[in-house]
Structure 1
Amino acid sequence: MKNKRRDFLKLTGMAGLTVAGAGVLNGFAAEPKIDNKSALDQKSHLQHFNMSGFAAPKLDVVRIGFIGLGNRGPAHLGQVSILEGVDIKALCDLRPEKLDLAKKKIQKTSFKPDTYSGKDDWKKVCERKDIDLIFIATPWELHTPMAVYAMNQGKHVCVEVPAAKTVEECWQLVETSERTKKHCMMMENACYGFYELLMLNLARQGFFGEIIHGEGAYIHHLLYGHFSKDKYYEQWRLKENIGRNGNLYPTHGLGPIAQVMNINRGDKFEYLVSVSGNDFMMNDLAKKLASKDDFFKDFVDKPFRGSMNTTTIRTSLGRTIMLQHDVTSPRPKSDGLVISGTKATAIQFPVEKISVAREATPETWRGSDAQKWITDEEFKALEKKYEPSIVKKLGEIAKEVGAHGGGDFLMDWRTIDCLRNGLPLDQDVYDAALWSSIGPLTEWSVANQATIKIPDFTAGSWKANKPLDIAISAGGNTKVKV
């Protein structure tokens, strides 16, 4: 069974080119065209165990090891350190100076974690018998190997985004989580933004009616950060932008929409088509920097990904999603969230707005409220009426101690609270795999000018899986020590 699935991975991850009716290759004859039915029929690919809605045994104290303490790791460390019912056992990073900074971050706490800085010391952290949960915040190419190893060592995993870089890696995560019955949660903090949680609650309460369409993006001016000598270890993120042309970071824009649409829990993604423009900025900057500093000569005339990528997805229930990715243009940061339904539409950027459909006739439609945004006062009333329980419970402290407007803290608190109370996590391994898979699938679509089928990582269980309830339930009883 495993070998059959592994063959399937290679087909969908490396050669699963299909369009509605015909494959499109346009000169890429070396990459085989695979018949849609033989490549994508998944009836023979059965689950080991359904991780959707899975509740692991309660952990009175969640014992944690952190791997990767450069950018995202310290934020998780600081936020987790103020929660009751946790014990920070280990800190791991290749750079001793990062370990020193991490230890200073928790020096006023009672935690005395062991530190690891050897090349393969992360394995030692995963192998420890006194650890329940591993946080992984390393360069992208290490996410899946570390997560798989940790689960095989009996650990739950929280892994930064994206959880995987290839479709085959996505299947590795799914197979390992199902076999070990260990959680693998991708830490998609956009799903815990106050506005995103409000949209999820509005959708759950039927405010939007039937969901028709969603839009999301990762618009973030990171051009100079990518070329920084010290922001990313050995310029790993800059290197990710070379030779990969697609949406390299889809999950921020996609996650909240997928939750609103109950993807993997009543609906699923069917196929996507992705288009990238040219690179208008990265190579120019590489040349400019190289003219003054030989360090950057290695980055000149490289195949940088296109400045803007736009991807469209269709779901089984006939909904559509538009995703965009641009991290070089001088634009204000935006996740571009739009939720459009039969009764209302919400748009987040540049200003949070909602329009509500009212009854209209062919004679009165021009002046109908469906074409007007509700007032600021009406929006505030909606926020108050539909405020998610978790925001009502922890919103103020989250804004005080958490990054990204408090969403980071809500994510870490909720994850620890679920583990301590034996509750299912808000994002399971199928979400991690599906949302991450959009990256490599867009690369394939761009390269081959093709519509690409999207694998069903739930092996059909999406039809019966229950929607998550984070917007309704505040969870358990984990206290914050401040």
Structure 2
Amino acid sequence: MKNNRRDFLKLSGMAGLGLAGSGILSAYTGRELPSSEQTIKLAGKEHKQEFNMSGYAAPKLDTVRIGYIGLGNRGGAAVKRMTRIAGVSINALCDIRQEKVNTAVQALKKTSYKPALYSGTEDAWKKLCERDDIDLIYIATPWALHTPIALYAMNHGKHVCTEVPAATSLEECWQLVQTSERTKKHCMMLENCCYDFFEMLTLNMAQQGFFGEIIHAEGAYIHDILEGNFSKTKNYNQWRLKENIKHKGNLYPTHGLGPVCQIMNINRGDQMKFLVSVSSDDFMMNEMANTLATKDAAYKQFIGKSYNGNMNTSTIKTHKGKTIMVQHDVTSPRPYSRLHLVSGTKGTAQKYPEPGRVSTSHEGWLSANEMKALEEKYTPNLVRKIGEMAKQVGGHGGMDFLMDWRTIDCLRNGLPLDQDVYDAALWSSILPLSEWSVNNRSNSIDVPDFTGGSWKKNLPVDISLSKGGTTAVI
């Protein structure tokens, strides 16, 4: 315990200084997981808010100058999408793999952008963050780098958008919150599912009182990516497979959780109180490793590992007595699902299995014509304005483009972002909290209040476009 505590304090001190250099990064990504006692302490940490980032409107940026770090599956697509949005300048690109940088440059050939290029070393991203001509760092790297890069970027005066999850430990969650408050720089997690058309429809319906008092919600990430996890080419250095060895719990909570948190006004009128989590054993990943090793000796290193269980179910209770259930399963041969169930005193919505449906009684779902009428009445202004263009540009059916356009529009108009650092920290914290509960016979654990109590007065997310909505598309 003494050694663990000393190591933790040492790491915390480094993060406070913003020293996310290459040597520290190596120590950071390779360190052991925090002890059970440390997790409990950080879960119950009382936070004295230095500055409230919820509802914070940073100064307007006529042109948002962007630097991309990580140009693989998500980052490369993000670069292409951004070329369709006015009022941006793509000023820098970074990936450890030169070929990924080259591919991103090719996507910009028909544009006027001439970005600086960084590659070849593990800390090339630092030089990008240090540039004076960057306003926003867009992070699409493996998970372990999300927090170190975000901290370094904010400490160098940059806003941050990071892929999910924003953090993988409670230490990281608290570091993001404290750094964002101190620097007054946005730290937004790129939770694209908050911009799914049905999720946004139900958010607007909830805010208009259609469901009455929301009592319970469910979200999930049920996605059979078993083969992809073991692929040598899909994820750089098979990093995602290694995360499934390192962690036990809900490794990827935010796709299902983010939209229902916005609907339930979590961090903005209510707050999570405690969590319990249970996982099945692994019945598939070790079997896959054994099968692959018979054909390729490189897979022998993955035999006999303690993999994350195939199904994790976590249940959360809020301070106002409401409940959220969130699941994680990336191995079973089940149809893709984020569940997205919203249950209130006057109505219910559920997206999966598709199409999304709504009910106002126990007698069944509304008819197709009734659903069409609801969509005509409750489709939010954000979707009315940019939804068709988003479908054309694409990215998970258009929600990726909606997310990017909305973020740029808020930055250019000096508006609060739809997701703030408290959302990034809270939604990401389900990973380490569920891991603690799974490892402790599914006992309950407190959920940190990253807002320092300001959730009691923070305003709900506003997607009405009462302000902003001025950014053009190309």
TM-score, normalized by the shorter chain, greater than 0.5 = yes
1:82 CA drift (Å): 1.4
Look up the equivalent residue of 1:281 and give its one-letter code. Answer: M
**Is the counterpart of residue 233 in structure 1 residue 241 in structure 2?**
no
Q: After superposition, what is the alpha-carbon deviation per residue over 1:317-375, rounded to whole angstroms, capped at 9, x for unaligned?
A: 11101111000001111111000000000111113211114xxxxxxxxxxxx332111
- Whether 2:111 is the aligned partner of 1:109: answer yes
The residue that corresponds to 1:457 in the other structure is 450
CA distance in structure 2 between the aligned counterparts of 1:35 and 1:477, rounded to whole angstroms:
46
Q: Does 1:337 align with 2:340?
A: yes
Query: How many angstroms apart in 2 are the aligned matches of 1:176 and 1:134?
Result: 15
2:71 maps to 1:80: no
Cα pair 2:249 2:312 within 8 Å, conserved: yes
Whole-Å separation in 2 of the counterparts to 1:137 and 1:110: 23
Name the residue aligned to 2:21: none
Q: Aligned pair 1:62/2:67, yes or no? A: no
2:348 aligned with 1:355, yes or no?
no
SS in 1 for 2:249: coil
SS state of the match for residue 436, structure 1?
Answer: helix
- 1:389 and 2:381 equivalent? yes
**What does 1:443-482 correspond to in 2, within 5 Å?**
443-449=435-441, 450-471=443-464, 473=466, 475-481=468-474
- Find out whether 1:439 has 2:431 as its counterpart: yes
- Does residue 1:89 correspond to 2:91, yes or no? yes
Separation of aligned partners in 2, 1:40 and 1:192: 31
Note if contact 2:45-2:448 (Cα within 8 Å) is conserved in structure 1: no
Q: 8 Å contact 2:166–2:428 — kept in the other structure?
A: yes
In the alignment, what sits opposite 1:429? Answer: 421
RMSD: 1.8
Q: How does 1:193-212 map to 2 (within 5 A)?
A: 193-212=196-215
Alignment-derived partner of residue 44 in structure 2 = 40
Pair 1:371–1:378, CA change in 2 (3 A): same
1:105 CA drift (Å): 1.2
Residue 162 of structure 2: aligned partner: 159
Q: 1:34 to 1:147 in 2, by over 3 A?
A: closer
Aligned partner of 1:82: which letter? R
* Equivalent position amino acid for 1:139 in 2: P
Deviations 1:12-45 (A, max 9, x none): xxxxxxxxxxxxxxxxxx8549999x97362xx3
**AA matched with 2:327:** Q
Q: 2:188·2:420 contact (CA, 8 Å) conserved in 1?
A: yes
- State whether residues 90 and 115 of structure 1, in contact with CA within 8 Å, keep that contact through their aligned partners in structure 2: yes
Shift of 1:229: 0.7
**Contact 1:215/1:338, CA 8 A, preserved across alignment:** yes
1:75, distance to aligned residue in structure 2 (A): 1.6
Kept in 1, the 8 Å contact 2:43–2:445? The answer is no
- Are the equivalent residues in 2 in contact too, given 1:214–1:321 (CA < 8 A)? yes
Greater C-alpha radius of gyration? 1
Q: Is this contact kept in 1: 2:43–2:446, CA < 8 A?
A: no
Deviations 1:217-269 (A, max 9, x none): 00001000001111100000000000311000000010001000000010000
CA shift in 2, pair 1:48/1:331, >3 Å: same
- Contact 1:390–1:474 (CA<8 Å) still a contact in 2? no
Question: Whole-Å Cα distance in 2 between the matches of residues 233 and 224 of structure 1?
Answer: 15
Aligned-residue offset at 1:107: 1.1
Kindly indicate whether the alpha-carbon contact (under 8 Å) linking 2:316 and 2:323 is maintained by their aligned counterparts in 1: yes
Q: C-alpha distance in 1, partners of 2:149/2:98?
A: 20
Give the letter for the 1:206 counterpart. G
Q: Calculate the TM-score normalised by the size of structure 1.
A: 0.89
- Choose 103-112 or 304-313, whichever is displaced more: 103-112
- Give the aligned partner of residue 168 of structure 1: 171
Equivalent-residue separation in structure 2 for 1:33 and 1:248 (angstroms) = 19
Where does the alignment leave 5 or more consecutive residues of structure 2 unmatched?
13-34
The 1-side partners of 2:351 and 2:464 are apart by: 18
| 8 A Cα contact 1:414 1:475, kept in partner | no
Contact residue 69 and residue 138 of structure 2 kept, 8 A: yes
SS at match of 2:245: coil
Partner of 1:322: 325
Hey, what does 1:21 align to over in structure 2?
none
In 1, Cα distance between the equivalents of 2:284 and 2:168?
24
Say if 1:311 and 1:473 are closer, same or farther in 2 by CA, change over 3 A.
Answer: farther
Q: Which secondary structure does the structure 2 equivalent of 1:272 belong to?
A: strand
State how far apart, in whole Å, the 1-side matches of 2:38 and 2:226 are: 36
What's the CA shift for 1:120? 1.4
- Alpha-carbon distance in structure 1 between the residues aligned to 2:377 and 2:100: 44
* C-alpha distance in 2 between matches for 1:403 and 1:228: 22
Q: 1:32 to 1:176 in 2, by over 3 A?
A: closer
Q: How does 1:254-269 map to 2 (within 5 A)?
A: 254-269=257-272
1:371 matches 2:373: no
Partner SS state of residue 390, structure 2:
helix
> CA distance change for structure 1 residues 240 and 33 in 2, over 3 Å: closer, same or farther?
closer
Paired amino acid for 1:94? I
Whole-Å Cα distance in 2 between the matches of residues 110 and 474 of structure 1? 30
Q: Distance in 2 between matches of 1:123 and 1:299?
A: 32
1:178 corresponds to: 181
Contact 1:52/1:428 (8 A) holds in 2: yes
Q: What amino acid is the match of 1:311?
A: S
Q: TM-score, normalised by structure 2?
A: 0.91
* Worse-superposed segment, 193-202 or 103-112: 103-112
Amino acid at match of 2:154: M
Is 76-85 or 181-190 further displaced after alignment?
A: 76-85
Question: Matched residues in 2 for 1:477 and 1:137: separation?
Answer: 27
Quote the Cα distance in structure 1 between the aligned partners of 2:406 and 2:390: 11
Maintained 8 Å contact 1:200/1:471: no
Seen in structure 2, the aligned counterparts of structure 1 residues 32 and 80 have a Cα distance that, compared at 3 Å, is: closer
Report what 2:245 is aligned to. 242
Question: 1:106 deviation in Å?
Answer: 1.5
Pair 1:133 & 2:112 matched: no
* SS of equivalent to 2:433: helix
SS in 2 for 1:477: coil
Q: Secondary structure at the match of 1:241?
A: helix
Determine the C-alpha separation between the residues in 2 that align with 1:432 and 1:33: 21
| C-alpha contact (below 8 Å) 2:225/2:331 kept by paired residues | yes
Residue 174 of structure 1 aligns to a residue whose secondary structure is: helix
- Judging changes above 3 Å, is the alpha-carbon distance between structure 1 residues 441 and 34 closer, same or farther for their aligned structure 2 residues? closer
Change (3 A) 1:474 1:384: farther
Q: Report the Cα offset of residue 84 of structure 1.
A: 0.9
Counterpart secondary structure, 1:242: helix
